[in-house]
Amino acid sequence: MKTVTTALRLALARNKGEATREVSYKRRYWDTAALAYVWEAAWTVVSRADVVAVSPVTEQLDSEQLNEFKVSNVTLTLLNTDNRWREDNPFGIFAQDSGSPGLQYDPYWTKFRVRVGIRLPDGSDEYVSLFSGVAVEYTSASNDQVQVTVQGLESLLMNANAEDVSTTVTEEYFAGPGTVFTTANPGVGVITEVSVAGIAVAGGDSTWSASDLDDPNLGATVTFQGSQSAVRITYKYWQQNKRIEELVRSLLTAAGIPSVDQLVSPVVFSNPILNAIVIDSMADWQAGTPTSIDYAAVPGSIKIDITDPANYSLLDSFTDGNFTANPVWTPQGNISWSVTGGGRLRYDKGGVTNMGVISTPVPPARIGLWKWTMNGVDSSFDKVTFGFNVMGFVQDTTNPFYQYSFNGNMLKITAPPYSGSSNQKWQLIVADQVIAQTDYNLPLLASGDVVIKVIAYGNHTFQVYVDSVLILQGYSPLYVVPNFFGIATEQGAFVLTDREVDDIYVPKAQFTATWVSPTYDMTAGVITIGKLFADYSTGLAETVTFETRTSPDGSTWDAWTSIDGAGQVQSTIRRYLQLRIVFGHNSSRYAEPIVNKVRIEYQTNVATITLAKFTGQTVYSAIQAFGQFSNYEWGFTADEDFFFRSKDTSRQADETVDRKDIQAISSLTTGYDKVYSEVRVTYGNFTAALKATGRPPRDSLSRFKSRILEVSVTDIVIGNDSDVATGVAKLFFNYFSRPRRRLRATCRFLPHVDLSDTLLVNFQQNRPKKTWTMGDETVSLGDQDASLWGAGEQLVSDMYAKVIGARHDTQRYASEFDLEEILP
């Protein structure tokens, strides 16, 4: 319904019609500053005397899915005695002037508008626009008249390239040499130019070919037949993850429709769309905020990073000046142990027969990270006489050590007296079995301290690092859980330096890690949040908890809330969601908890377009696809405004028409031909089919047999997990499963009635022979000539109808409507 005052509707209804017709135009000129064609800002009214005739303005909704407003061409006949409408008339309408100083105006695509003005009782005029369009042809109908063919403003969309709704990257450079070059941006739709060393090369079998186009996650790949250097690629990549309304606006802007004329409603689906947040790739996990999380050990999964500083703790740094407290170290054997003034544990080089151990209890940890600092050796000679072993062990109280080895020890490093002797290498010993060994010389004393790090993983792998260099790695399924950390030594005869050990770290008893997801925008249209499904393992008896929190704005968050036992997300339904995964692991057990995949389902009434690919499309066809996809109606109003809006099929009458308003009703049809018994809808990855059961006698399948409506939108890339089809199928099935009557009504002039408006129609032409009313005493019970006739006896009675076609005739001041019944 065009916006008009009540006074205008009354003036028309009371037959106070006094009307004028107004034709105005805006010329198009070349803006030398903007280097584009633009239209004048203001309308120029054609003198009323110069308007000879205006053909009726005919509009229609497109047939099956009723989404697009189509306006037929309008022909204006204008007086042209002085050839003012001639393109090359230097004194004509299109002559160069101060408004278009560079060139003359271009008659092609001059905008024309047709309005009617109605005189109101207060003497003022109210105008109603009937049509706006662009001139595409000027025909001299006679020597003093010109006929201007004016097309609807859809022409502007049909002639605009939708591919412009993209980002152009000019000459991305690849130094090469190579044969395969991948663009930096994913979602590439069009490769405009490929050049090698500054010379453009056309694609082809013998030159280069492109792949991975239109992929939301991958850049385009250009593969040459031979190796090339200095390659430059110019390409366009599509917008990603945009709402439909955002893309429609972008398309309109590309077609030169000013933003003030873009009346684009947010697309809200009446049936919910099932969406899901899926986290299962390394990129997905890396997008989150980790605390002690290991992404790399199992690509595509997360687990605790047991080597993170948060998961090991300082056992002793000896800064208290002794080893007798915090913690208490117990020496055994005949080695002399002391703590230096600098806070380091020292053991004397002693003599050939000196040997011993020093140890302290630690939390039992089967996996984790142990590390300590020690000094270097003072000469190459020194190293051949030095040996020690160190690490967690299980204390054997009856036989705590044998020479310089613990029972059940883990790492033994024996400095070799000469190379090639296996028991004098660095050895990785697990449960008293050597699983790996290597030759390795400690750095010289002058080089400073070294940090030795030993890591035991849950997958039974062991690693030894010296100053972050991996020197030993091995595998052993055997293990004992150490509950002591100790150093054992047997000093050789030629040792020149006292050994010093410092800053000893051991694994914590309980490992923890937390992963917080990035903020997921479930869009303003989120209506429910469903369950969380996870592929994860808790190891033997570890913990993995899933918590969520939501926010209306992405910054103010509710408290973290755990999912319930059935996996249902408990957070309040709000637009933004975050997931937190908390790991807990007792370090005495080897099996690590791990999370491989998480999927959180939610329902929205809005859909996000994953990749807005418009290859080879016009703005018109792209918007057409969006209109079909969202089941929205769209077109141009008579006031040049583009609209994209939800279809109103309510039984709320915009205007009531009856026999006082309707001159004639013609072609009243039953609508049987528009009934379908099955609807098949394919949107993205989902196909939904709804079929009538065929059982009830009035069911569409039983009445009309098998008629199938197929709706398919495959060009629009939506999320793999967004199911729009099911909801849309229901909508179409509800609409098409019952017959709706259609009729054409010729009415008095109702210029404000628009396509898609709802009219309440009454045409009760079948009057009883003797008219009477309830309570009428002139009739009595038993009268043979009085009948009470109901709605069924009338041609049209209290029928709510949608306007699917309109024809406004400004010559006769009459309107004609094609109407389709709206069923309750």
Residue 761, strand partner residues: 657, 799
Q: Does 42 bind another protein (CB under 8 A)?
A: no
d(CA 794, CA 517): 65
Residue 658: both structure tokens together: 């009856």
Beta strand pairing status for 231-238 and 219-228? unpaired
Is residue 633 part of the contact set for another protein (CB under 8 A)? no
The reply to whether 798 sits near another protein by the rule CB under 8 A is: no
E strand or H helix that includes residue 13: helix 6-13
Q: How far is the CB of 668 from another protein (least distance, A)?
A: 13
662 counts as binding another protein under rule CB under 8 A: yes
Please state the closest distance from residue 25 (CB atom) to another protein, in A: 15
- Cis peptide before 107, with omega less than 30 degrees from 0? no
Among 270, 274, 250, 273, residue whose Cα is nearest residue 262: 250
**Cα 44–49–51 angle (5° rounding)?**
65
User: Considering only residues 72, 73, 87, 92, which one is a binding residue for another protein as defined by CB under 8 A?
Assistant: 92
- Does position 9 interact with another protein (CB under 8 A)? The reply is no
Does 25 contact another protein by CB under 8 A? no
Smallest separation (angstroms) from another protein to the CB of 16: 9
> Smaller CB distance to another protein: residue 19 or 201?
19
- In this structure, how many other beta carbons lie within 10 angstroms of the beta carbon of residue 432? 15
In the shown chain, the binding pattern of residues 305 to 344 toward another protein, with x for contact by CB under 8 A and - for none, equals ----------------------------------------
d(CA 57, CA 75): 9
Is 661 a binding residue for another protein by CB under 8 A? The answer is: yes
Alpha-carbon distances of 704 from 229, 574, 697, rounded to whole Å: 67, 45, 11
**DSSP secondary structure code for residue 784 in this structure:** S
Q: Measured from the CB of residue 609, what is the shortest distance to another protein in angstroms?
A: 47
Residue 770 interacting with another protein (CB under 8 A):
no
Residue 807 makes contact with another protein by CB under 8 A = no
Cα separation, 107 vs 140, in Å, equals 14
Q: Which stretch binds another protein (CB under 8 A): 203-211, 236-244, 561-569, 654-662?
A: 654-662
Q: Which two tokens stand for residue 552?
A: 């209306």
- Specify the 3-state DSSP secondary structure of 417: coil
Nearest partner of 631 among 753, 725, 556, 498, judged by Cα: 725
Task: Please provide residue 311's backbone torsions phi and psi, each rounded to the nearest 5 degrees.
Answer: -105, 10
Q: Is 135 in the site for another protein (CB under 8 A)?
A: no
- The window from 14-22, 258-266, 304-312, 703-711 that contacts another protein (CB under 8 A) reads 14-22
Q: Does 659 bind another protein (CB under 8 A)?
A: yes
Pull the structure tokens for residue 280.
Answer: 């299962």
Asked if 82 interacts with another protein (CB under 8 A), we say yes
Instruction: Give yes or no for residue 57 binding another protein (CB under 8 A).
Output: no
Q: Which of residues 151-170 bind another protein (CB under 8 A)?
A: none
Q: Tell which residue, 525, 529, 551, 531, has the closest CA to residue 604.
A: 525
Any contact of residue 18 with another protein (CB under 8 A)?
Answer: yes
Measured in whole angstroms, the distance separating CA 192 from the mean position of its chain's CA atoms is 26
- What single string gives the DSSP state of each residue in 669-702? E--GGG--SEEEEEETTEEEEEE--S-STT-HHH
Does 417 engage in binding with another protein (CB under 8 A)?
A: no
Nearer to another protein, 83 or 588 (CB): 83
Angle made by CA atoms 277, 279, 281, in degrees to the nearest 5: 145
Q: Is 487 in the site for another protein (CB under 8 A)?
A: no
Shortest Å distance, C-beta 818 to another protein: 17
Q: Is 418 in the site for another protein (CB under 8 A)?
A: no
Residue selected from 41, 91, 296, 341 as contacting another protein according to rule CB under 8 A: 91
Residue 547 or 818 having the CB closest to another protein: 818
Return the residue of 211, 663, 693, 766 that touches another protein, per CB under 8 A: 663
Minimum CB distance to another protein, residue 655 (Å) = 15
Inter-helix orientation angle 619-630/244-254, to 10°: 160
Rounded least distance, CB 795 to another protein, Å: 9
Report DSSP letters for 601-656, one per residue.
EEEES--EEEE---TT-BHHHHHHHHHHHHTEEEEE-TTS-EEEEE----S--SEE
Shortest Å, Cβ 814 to another protein? 6
User: What is the rounded distance in angstroms from the CA atom of residue 548 to the CA atom of residue 551?
Assistant: 10
Among residues 611 and 662, whose Cβ is nearest to another protein? Answer: 662
Per the CB < 8 A criterion, the answer to whether 619 and 255 are in contact is yes
Rounded Cα distance, 68 and 56, in Å = 20
- Residue 816 as a binder of another protein (CB under 8 A): the answer is no
CA distances from 231 to 129, 190, 546, 552 (A): 56, 17, 48, 47
Binder among 706, 765, 771, 778 for another protein (CB under 8 A): 765
Query: In the complex with another protein, which residue's Cβ is closer, 12 or 302?
Result: 12
The position carrying tokens 């790399």 is: 296
Minimum separation from the CB atom of position 241 to another protein (A): 49
Smallest separation (angstroms) from another protein to the CB of 38: 24
The token duo for 670 is: 């039953």
Which of residues 13 and 434 has its CB atom nearest to another protein in the complex? 13
Does 444 participate in binding another protein (rule CB under 8 A)?
no
Closer of 81 and 397 to another protein (Cβ): 81
What does the alpha-carbon distance between residue 477 and residue 460 come to, in Å, rounded to a whole number? 6
**How far is residue 206's CA from residue 45's CA, in Å, rounded to a whole number?**
61
| CB of residue 45 to another protein, shortest distance in Å | 9
Q: Which of 748, 779, 787, 793 binds another protein (CB under 8 A)?
A: 748
Using CA atoms, how far apart are residues 347 and 333, in angstroms rounded to an integer? 12
Amino acid letter, residue 615: T
Q: Which is nearer to another protein, 95 or 480 (CB)?
A: 95
Does residue 24 touch another protein according to CB under 8 A?
no
Pick the binder of another protein from 2, 4, 9, 21 (CB under 8 A).
Answer: 21
Does the protein bind another protein through residue 20 (CB under 8 A)?
A: yes
Bridge partners (DSSP) listed for residue 461: 475
Residue 98, interface with another protein (CB under 8 A)? no
Q: Is 771 among the residues that bind another protein (CB under 8 A)?
A: no
Pick the closer one to another protein by CB: 11 or 377.
11
Q: How many residues bind another protein (CB under 8 A)?
A: 34
User: Cβ(801)–Cβ(662) under 8 Å?
Assistant: no
Does residue number 117 form part of the binding site for another protein (CB under 8 A)? yes
| Residue 660 found at the interface with another protein (CB under 8 A) | yes
CB nearer to another protein: give 310 or 795.
Answer: 795
Q: Which of 676, 763, 800, 817 binds another protein (CB under 8 A)?
A: 763
**688 lies in the binding site for another protein (CB under 8 A):** no
Choice between 635 and 751, CB closer to another protein: 751
Distance set, CA 502 to CA 340, 360, 744, 823 (Å): 10, 14, 97, 86
Query: Which of these ranges, 84-92, 276-284, 701-709, 730-738, lies near another protein under the rule CB under 8 A?
Result: 84-92
The token pair that represents 665 in the structure block: 């009703």
Closest distance to another protein from the beta carbon of 90 (Å):
8
Instruction: Say how many Å lie between the first and final Cα of the chain, rounded.
Output: 21
Q: Return the closest-CA partner of residue 409 out of 422, 423, 428.
A: 428
Residue of 84, 589, 707, 807 that binds another protein (CB under 8 A): 84
CB atoms within 10 A of CB 92: 17
- What is the nearest approach in angstroms of another protein to the Cβ of residue 747? 8
Q: Which residues bind another protein (CB under 8 A)?
A: 15, 17-21, 47-49, 82, 84, 90-92, 95, 117, 119, 658-665, 746, 748-749, 763, 765, 811-814
